[in-house]
Amino acid sequence: MLERFRGLSATMLGPIARLLIKLGVSPDVVTITGTLGVVFASLICFPQGWLWQGVLIVIIFVISDMLDGLMAKITGKASNWGAFLDSTSDRLGDAAVFGGILLYFVYRQDSTLWAGIALAGLVFGQWTSYVKARAESLGFVCKGGLAARADRLVIILAGAFIAGLGVPYVLNIAVAALAVTSMITVLQRIAQVRKQAKAADAHSA
């Protein structure tokens, strides 16, 4: 399903990507612009209680996450630098989204409990990404798990959007679910790497 979505996105975004290329816009500029848009939208809209509005703005800028890669593919200029910039920008954008929701609970709900749960979702989400990056830098395969990055982003944005329409407790359920599933994902990935590391050590011995 994800591959079909990516194929559909490439078809829809293709004309935009080609237009940006024609105008001389580089994929790096698109990556940076999209990340800054997500950061500012999340940290301004969510703490103010503008949930559904913030989600719509964030989604518009998240599209750039697909545009930059598509532009690089069309121009044949995909590079390790571009992949690095895209990955590190994703971490910043994710942190901003969860940080904005955390501030929403602090300032609009006056709840340190739910702010703490949102913080847990942020921490475990970042930890999940770090575990994957560190494992792969050591030559291990580390993927899958209960809540990958795309899953976390969809759940938190969907929860915020529905909550912004006035449906109670949806955002609370979303952040609680993400805190738990992200923690489980970390454990799953650590176990996955541990199994490979033990096998590699046994083979070396």
Angstrom distances, CA of residue 167 to CA of 49, 157, 181, 195: 14, 14, 23, 43
Question: Cα(199)–Cα(70) distance, rounded to whole angstroms?
Answer: 38
Catalytic annotation present for 90: yes
Q: Say which of 90, 94, 110, 151 is annotated catalytic.
A: 90
Name the amino acid, one letter, at 57.
Answer: I
Q: Is residue 42 packed enough to be buried (19+ CB in 10 Å), middle (13-18) or exposed (0-12)?
A: buried
Spell out the residues 6+ positions from residue 153 whose beta carbon is closer than 8 angstroms to its own: 62, 94, 97
Question: Cα(2)–Cα(23) distance, rounded to whole angstroms?
Answer: 30
Question: What is the set of active-site residues?
Answer: 90
